[in-house]
Structure 1
Amino acid sequence: MYFLRRIRYAFAIPWQRTLYIMFIAQLMTAIGFSSIWPFFPLYVNELGSSTGMSLELLAGLVFSAQAFTMMIASPVWGNLADRYGRKLMVERAMFGGSAILLLMGFVQSAEQLVILRAIQGLITGKIAAANALGGSVAPHEHAGYGMGLLQVGQGTGVALGPIIGGVIADRWGYSATFYVTAVLLLLGGRLVFFGVQEHFKPRPAGAKGQAGLRAAWREIYSFAGVPVTFVLQFFSQLGFNLLAPILPLFIPTLLGPAQEINTFTGLVVGINAAAATISSLFFGP
């Protein structure tokens, strides 16, 4: 009873209710996205190429196409978030991502998958949008708690998703993982749409902070330590993503033909994500 009273009390406070709803949505989205990405190279192998391109190259393009288009689109979505609100951007990412992921379950070639991944990068970007919304609704003195809660949701989902996705892929095929992910994003989007309240006030025209992308980058890099952190983060992500297209293809070579390849792949990736999440609690993200 005490636990239920605590939950009821927490949900009675608007900003806490928004954060907890965002936590659930973040968890669902992270489970969904992470349940498919470790298996893209295996899915590419199953689909085959319609143009004769190398499957290894296509496996790499499946990852890089989404990252490249997201890099281009993110500043645009950030600008629109400042004009029209963060909640709208979260809904755009979740509903748009749900539609694209559903289509991925119906593709007939690896080239079609690469195209949809590029489109996914253009319209998603859920993590940044959710963090911006969570940071904007929490009072200043609770901003750290709010961001930490969303990071826990993200990390937990990334740890659980590959294992869940591996089991689904082994039981019902790769297409089923895309259908499940699409449903998770759709439900998360509806949760945000109906449950989150954002009292957004757009910046006045000509207000400070709208000086343009180049000026914004200069301001960011003027802070001590940011350039070094950026370089370290770049090489950290580069090292991880060099392995991402290859690891799922390497693991089957260690297993027998009768073993559940996707479940083992998901377990390896999930354990890695869980270890990273736990270590961040002690050493920082």
Structure 2
Amino acid sequence: MPIWKRNLIVCWFGMFVSGVGMSMLAPVLPLYIKQLGVHDTGSIAQYSGIAFGITYIISAIFSPIWGHAADKFGRKPMLLRASLGMAIVIGCMGFATNVHVLIGLRLLQGVITGYATACTTLIATQTDKEHSGYALGTLSTASIGGSLLGPSIGGFIEEGFGLQNVFFITSGLLLIAFLTTALFVKESFTREDKKVLPLKAVWQLIPEKSLTITMFVTFFILTVALYSVEPIITVYITHLSHDSSHIALIAGLTFSASGLANIIAAPKLGKLSDRIGVHKVMLVALAAAGIIFIPQAFVSNPWQLMGLRFILGLTAAGLTPSVNVLIKKITPAPLTGRVFGFAMSAGYLGVFGGSILGGQVAAWFGVQYVFLITSALLLLNAVWVYFNVYKKLNRQEKLTM
């Protein structure tokens, strides 16, 4: 088996588990916070929002830092640091004595994360050009799939094994990721002891500044779109369903449907981008995702919503690998880790921003408007990508023919 493929398999498992570990608390946080001694409904909601969101905000700050460390010290050491650190911190959450300890551990989890950044940089730099679209497409399914399936996985573990075991099982899986990374990931890396460049100097070395900004914004809007439904999904399912039983389970499955579709479609769309061009796949996927959000506002039962969320995942699967492949192509090799770190920060901010957007829009205008406003964001982004990416890369293709 080629080294790049073995690295891809190990990184996929680690990124999937890392994504689950970041998001699996969503359905169990209120229950766990209540178990820790908070009984007022308003306080539970407040602490749940803080505990869930703080990990992503801190991750957005530290992701570029770990990306720079990956460029300086190698990607494998960053994989080992993040997987072992998260295994320890998430395991400790199961022993939290009060809600403040839990929030502190969630904050620490955000500090030590960086597994996804190191994985993406490793695969981007160690995979040959002919397979980069397929490799990065496959890898993207792990992060997005883990994040979107995490709430359902957390809910199933809680129902079958108890609240505390959600943390212990996730910790055990991350420990397995640490061991497999240590044993099987191979990296060709030569450390260069160069002066640390300030952010302004790094930005000056990036040749395609406009394209780079477009990729960051596109990744941000994609994650906003995928997570805008999270705060309102249970309310919407309750409104659509005539049976009040199993609402939480149906909501979890509906939210996770797009993650499952992403896992299925992303490798195939990654291969397609290798053949026809990453900019073409990106534009079509953005437009299709924007259109598919519209009928979600007008469904009459939960199963229609679940089907549309699955189709959304098929279209969104063409976006993350396209962003990663294009970033790899336009970024100088010594800066790859830092640039991917900033891209990952955009994604973490998108998760947080999507959750805030969904809740606020639903509160002010109604649940249906969450889907319509998210659709508008994606379609506006598609127009920007058409003029700033598609037309530009098409011209470059014609000049090289």
Instruction: Report SS of the residue matched to 1:215.
Output: helix
Normalising by structure 2, we get a TM-score of: 0.58
Instruction: Give the aligned partner of residue 63 of structure 1.
Output: 52
- Please, which of 157, 179, 188 is the counterpart of residue 199 of structure 1? 188
Report the CA distance between 1:78 and its aligned residue.
1.8
Instruction: Give the aligned partner of residue 143 of structure 1.
Output: 132
Contact 1:23 1:150 in 2 (8 A): yes
Instruction: Give the aligned partner of residue 215 of structure 1.
Output: 201
1:10-89 residue pairs with structure 2 within 5 A?
11=1, 13-49=2-38, 54-89=43-78
Instruction: Give the aligned partner of residue 117 of structure 2.
Output: 128
Report the CA distance between 1:121 and its aligned residue.
0.5
Q: Which amino acid aligns with 1:214?
A: K
Counterparts of 1:74 and 1:282, CA distance in 2: 23
Contact 1:101 1:182 in 2 (8 A): yes
Counterparts of 2:98 and 2:238, CA distance in 1: 24
CA deviation vs aligned residue, 1:123-169 (integer Å, no higher than 9, x gap): 01221111111112212332222212211333443454433322211
Which piece of structure 1 moves more, 197-206 or 186-195?
197-206
Contact 1:251 1:261 in 2 (8 A): no
Instruction: Give the aligned partner of residue 182 of structure 1.
Output: 171
Contact 1:162 1:267 in 2 (8 A): no
Within the alignment, does 1:269 sit opposite 2:255 as a pair? Answer: yes
Instruction: Give the aligned partner of residue 100 of structure 1.
Output: 89
Counterparts of 1:141 and 1:191, CA distance in 2: 26
Counterparts of 2:257 and 2:23, CA distance in 1: 12
Instruction: Give the aligned partner of residue 224 of structure 1.
Output: 210
Instruction: Report SS of the residue matched to 1:54.
Output: helix
Q: Which amino acid aligns with 2:57?
A: F
Within the alignment, does 1:279 sit opposite 2:315 as a pair? Answer: yes
Counterparts of 1:200 and 1:70, CA distance in 2: 25
Unaligned runs of 5+ in 2: 261-309, 322-401
Q: Percent identity?
A: 28
Q: Which amino acid aligns with 1:15?
A: W
Counterparts of 1:106 and 1:75, CA distance in 2: 30
CA deviation vs aligned residue, 1:79-116 (integer Å, no higher than 9, x gap): 22122110110111111001111111122332222111
Contact 1:170 1:260 in 2 (8 A): no
Instruction: Report SS of the residue matched to 2:192.
Output: coil
Instruction: Indicate the structure whose relative CO is greater, using CA pairs within 8 Å and at least 6 residues apart.
Output: 1
Which piece of structure 1 moves more, 101-110 or 71-80?
71-80
Q: Which amino acid aligns with 1:211?
A: L
Q: Which amino acid aligns with 1:195?
A: F
The structure 1 segments of at least 4 consecutive aligned residues displaced by more than 6 Å after TM superposition are: 50-53, 251-258
Counterparts of 1:181 and 1:198, CA distance in 2: 26
Contact 1:39 1:262 in 2 (8 A): no
Counterparts of 2:149 and 2:206, CA distance in 1: 34
How many residues align? The count is 270
Counterparts of 2:31 and 2:234, CA distance in 1: 7
- Distance change (3 Å), C-alpha of 1:35 and 1:59: closer
Counterparts of 2:15 and 2:132, CA distance in 1: 17
Unaligned runs of 5+ in 1: 1-10
